[in-house]
């Protein structure tokens, strides 16, 4: 991984912009699906990322973008309580992160290590990538020609690029894909022409609604568990242990405060972005300063009307082609975690835990109780943790 000393300021700026492009599609897609302003989401993603880095001492190369885990809850809460009421419920989500941070601080990292051993962490990291695979495919299939152009460009540049070009394979893929889309006459530039040069996002203030708070707070369980999986994933990618330093309690608190800030401004909750982790794995650039530059670009682009409009003209298929590689990269990191930690899948206990984590997550299993629903990665991780605690080790393992 490249550190601060190997990148010039210009290189950091270009790579930072690239990382924003990686996160851009998902960050603006969530607000579009739930009826929020995409510019607000871009702004709060940038602010949330900077908050996270401030809390984590600027040591963890993580970008925070709009969370997909809250799409259904936001839609339902907005129907029941209106958007301002739903936003007050999202503020409570950040408070849940804070409580979990306190628990980790009091019980220590060993508490998390016992709950999330390699046999649980590896499959959960794999699931983070595999569960998003359909998203990448659905984006790519809107125009497979553009998707393949973007994908092949990214692969070729990452393998054979020299100098600055080698540092920005994803950016190169997006640019070449965009040029191809323009050549095919697919891009509509009218929104760019119509947009003003400067426009503040349409911020919305939350209104206190206890019903929304009670409705939303339990939803935080799933993204909290996803957060832990993402931090372990970035550990594997960078070869560092951020669970110990600056500490999982700090990363959890940073994520929670970022969620609160986003909700107070009318944006969707933010979460650690696997897309950017995949980009870090591909480019081998893990300088946290570069991620902060991406956050600053997010804020700038949210208030520059024409730039924001131009970014929104990037075809979905171009972004989808890139995601095919990035999501697969995350899954490969999970496989590497199992191999690196020498997890024996010949052991029936380990095989049962890993298998159920993967099948429940990929299959989209959900568990509903009253108004509370947990599914996807969150449910799979909970099942993995429980199985790891209740299934006894084999006698041979206990004697080691």
Sign of the torsion formed by the C-alpha atoms of 153, 297, 327 and 111: positive
Do residues 91 and 209 lie in contact, with contact meaning Cβ atoms separated by under 8 Å? no
Cα angle, residue 390 at apex, residues 335 and 356 outer, rounded to 5° = 40
Residue 396's Cβ-count burial label (10 Å; 0-12, 13-18, 19+) is: exposed
For 224, residues 6+ apart whose C-beta sits below 8 A from its C-beta are 96, 97, 100, 252
Q: List, for residues 152-193, the tens digit of each pLDDT value.
A: 998 998 888 776 676 677 778 888 999 999 999 888 888 888
- Other beta carbons within 10 Å of 116: 22
Residue 113 has pLDDT above 80, yes or no: no
Is residue 374 classed as helix, strand or coil in its secondary structure? strand
Do residues 321 and 149 lie in contact, with contact meaning Cβ atoms separated by under 8 Å? yes
d(CA 150, CA 253) in angstroms, rounded, equals: 36
Cα dist. 9→15, 20, 288, 326 in Å? 10, 17, 13, 25
CA 11, distance to chain mean position in Å, is 24
d(CA 110, CA 176) in angstroms, rounded, equals: 47
CA 375, distance to chain mean position in Å, is 17
Bond into 366 cis (ω within 30): no
Q: What is the pLDDT of residue 399?
A: 46
Residue 22 has pLDDT above 50, yes or no: yes
Q: What is the pLDDT of residue 220?
A: 74
Q: List, for residues 301-336, the tens digit of each pLDDT value.
A: 888 888 777 777 888 898 888 878 877 877 887 888
Mean pLDDT on 381-394: 86
Mean pLDDT on 282-292: 87
d(CA 151, CA 331) in angstroms, rounded, equals: 17
Mean pLDDT on 136-161: 89
> Residue holding tokens 């330093």?
245
Give bridge partners of residue 271 from the DSSP assignment.
Answer: 65
Q: What is the pLDDT of residue 283?
A: 78
User: What are residue 367's phi and psi, to 5 degrees?
Assistant: -125, 125
Residue 255's Cβ-count burial label (10 Å; 0-12, 13-18, 19+) is: buried
Residue 357 has pLDDT above 50, yes or no: yes
Task: Extract the tokens encoding 87.
Answer: 């936003």
Do residues 249 and 101 lie in contact, with contact meaning Cβ atoms separated by under 8 Å? yes
Residue 109 has pLDDT above 80, yes or no: no
Mean pLDDT on 266-279: 83
Where in the chain are the domains?
A: 4-342
d(CA 114, CA 221) in angstroms, rounded, equals: 18
pTM of the model: 0.70
d(CA 374, CA 225) in angstroms, rounded, equals: 11
Least confident of 50-64, 74-88, 137-151: 74-88
Q: How confident is the model at residue 145 (pLDDT cuts 50, 70, 90)?
A: very high
d(CA 56, CA 253) in angstroms, rounded, equals: 9
């Amino acid at each position: 991984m490249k550190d601060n000393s190997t990148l010039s300021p210009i290189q950091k700026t270009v790579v930072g912009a690239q990382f924003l492009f990686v996160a851009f599609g998902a960050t603006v897609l969530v607000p579009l699906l739930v009826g929020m302003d995409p510019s607000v989401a871009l702004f709060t993603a940038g602010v949330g990322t900077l908050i996270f880095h401030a809390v984590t001492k600027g040591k963890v190369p993580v970008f925070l973008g709009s969370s997909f885990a809250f799409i259904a809850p936001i839609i339902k809460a907005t129907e029941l309580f209106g958007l301002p009421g739903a936003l007050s419920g999202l503020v409570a989500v950040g408070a849940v992160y804070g409580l979990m941070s306190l628990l980790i601080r009091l019980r220590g990292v060993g508490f998390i290590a016992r709950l999330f051993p390699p046999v649980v962490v590896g499959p959960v990291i794999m699931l983070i990538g595999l569960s998003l695979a359909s998203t990448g495919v659905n984006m790519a299939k809107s125009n497979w020609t553009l998707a393949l152009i973007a994908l092949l460009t990214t692969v070729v540049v990452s393998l054979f690029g020299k100098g600055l070009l080698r540092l920005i394979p994803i950016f190169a893929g997006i640019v070449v894909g965009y040029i191809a889309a323009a050549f095919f006459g697919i891009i509509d530039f009218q929104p760019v022409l119509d947009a003003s040069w400067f426009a503040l996002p349409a911020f919305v203030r939350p209104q206190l609604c206890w019903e929304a708070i009670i409705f939303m707070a339990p939803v935080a369980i799933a993204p909290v568990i996803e957060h832990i999986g993402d931090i372990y994933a970035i550990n594997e990618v960078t070869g560092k242990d951020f669970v110990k330093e600056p500490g999982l309690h700090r990363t959890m608190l940073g994520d929670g405060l970022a969620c609160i800030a986003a909700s107070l401004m009318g944006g969707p909750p933010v979460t650690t972005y696997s897309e950017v982790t995949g980009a870090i794995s591909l480019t081998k650039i893990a300088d946290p300063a570069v991620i902060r530059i991406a956050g600053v670009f997010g804020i700038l682009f949210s208030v520059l009307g024409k730039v924001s409009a131009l970014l929104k003209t990037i075809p979905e298929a171009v972004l989808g082609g890139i995601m095919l590689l990035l999501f697969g990269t995350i899954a490969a990191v999970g496989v590497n975690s199992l191999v690196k930690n020498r997890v024996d899948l010949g052991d029936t206990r380990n095989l049962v835990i890993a298998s159920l984590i993967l099948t429940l997550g990929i299959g989209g299993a959900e568990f509903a109780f009253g108004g509370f629903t947990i599914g996807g990665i969150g449910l799979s991780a909970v099942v993995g943790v429980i199985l790891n605690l209740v299934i006894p080790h084999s006698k041979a393992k206990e004697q080691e």
